[in-house]
Structure formats: structure tokens, C-alpha cells
């Protein structure tokens, strides 16, 4: 054969020859001597894993929620709607500058109005209104965990939530 006996023997399909088995056994012994068994960290309990996940989510959410002026282009008119709702008590139709603002559904504005009203003693209006985003993230994480548990059973809620947060 043109490719040589060793290469031809390794490319052959089917049961291995006795010398191939001996070579594999020799390699396995050498590998075991050179590489000690890997140590693995003890697995976290479900409560500890959940606590770590909660800490990561809080560390991810809090810096973007409070302690800064409006960043994005959508935030000024969102806060305008919330400010109008707080000032006038008219929360049925979102309004910006006296003009009805019906481009988006009002649920987010209503929740922002409620969180801003609750947090107004200790947070500025825009920070209190942003807490609504955290509530919707927590609701999304809970729904993801519930759906994962429903579809794939126990033990998959945590990985599903981690994947949700990481994307």
C-alpha cells in the first residue's frame, strides 16, 4: 500500500488489530501517570446557586438603574409621561407636553408611575421610574425559570436563567 502500513492500519475501519489495542493500552497507562485525576470543586447547593445568581443579577441591574441622569433617547419622553401622571393624576392616557402619547402600550408607564411614586421620598423621579425595568426583568427571569422547569423538568431553571441573563 502506498500510504504505509501504520497509516493504512489506522485508517482501516472495523475491529482494531492486536497491536493497535496494545498501543492504546500503553498510551492510557502513560496518560494516567502523567496526568493526575483532575480535582473538581464541590457542587453548590441549590440555595447557594440561587444566591449566587441573585447576586449576579443585582450586580448587573443596579448600576444601570439608579444614580445617573437619563442616558438613552427614549428616557426623556418616558420620564415626561411619568412626570405628567404624577403631577396631574391622569394615568389613563399617557401624555407628553399636553399631547397624548399613544405610540407604545401604557403598561410600562403605569408601572413606572407606581415605582416613581413609591420611591419618590428617597430617589429622584427618573431613578424611581427606572425601577419598573427591574421589576419587568425579575418577572422575565421568573417566567423563564418556570417555563424551563415546565418544559424540561427539575434542575434546568437555573441554567435557563443564567443563559437568559447572559444574552
Q: What is the pLDDT of residues 62-114, one digit of tens each?
A: 887 877 777 777 788 888 899 999 999 888 888 888 889 888 889 999 999 99
To the question of pTM greater than 0.75 for the whole model, the response is: no
Q: Is the pLDDT of residue 36 over 60?
A: no
With H, G, I as helix, E, B as strand and everything else as coil, classify residue 17: coil
Q: What is the rounded distance in angstroms from the CA atom of residue 164 to the CA atom of residue 144?
A: 8
> Which pLDDT value is given to residue 108?
93
C-alpha distances (whole Å) from 74 to each of 80, 81, 104, 153 are 10, 11, 11, 39
Amino acid at each position: 500500500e502506498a500510504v504505509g502500513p501504520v497509516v493504512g492500519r489506522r485508517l482501516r475501519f472495523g475491529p482494531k488489530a492486536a497491536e493497535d489495542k496494545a498501543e492504546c493500552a500503553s498510551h492510557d497507562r502513560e496518560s494516567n501517570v502523567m496526568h493526575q485525576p483532575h480535582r473538581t470543586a464541590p457542587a453548590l447547593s441549590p440555595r447557594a446557586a440561587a444566591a449566587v445568581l441573585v447576586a449576579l443579577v443585582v450586580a448587573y441591574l443596579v448600576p444601570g438603574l439608579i444614580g445617573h441622569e437619563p442616558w438613552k433617547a427614549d428616557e426623556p419622553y418616558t420620564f415626561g409621561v411619568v412626570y405628567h401622571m404624577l403631577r396631574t393624576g391622569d394615568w389613563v392616557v399617557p401624555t407628553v407636553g399636553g399631547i397624548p402619547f399613544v405610540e407604545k402600550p401604557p403598561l410600562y408607564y403605569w408601572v413606572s408611575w407606581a415605582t416613581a411614586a413609591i420611591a419618590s421620598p428617597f430617589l429622584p423621579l427618573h431613578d424611581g421610574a427606572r425601577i419598573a425595568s427591574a421589576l419587568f426583568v425579575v418577572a422575565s427571569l421568573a417566567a423563564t425559570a418556570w417555563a424551563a422547569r415546565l418544559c424540561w423538568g427539575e434542575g434546568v431553571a437555573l441554567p435557563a436563567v443564567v443563559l437568559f441573563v447572559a444574552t
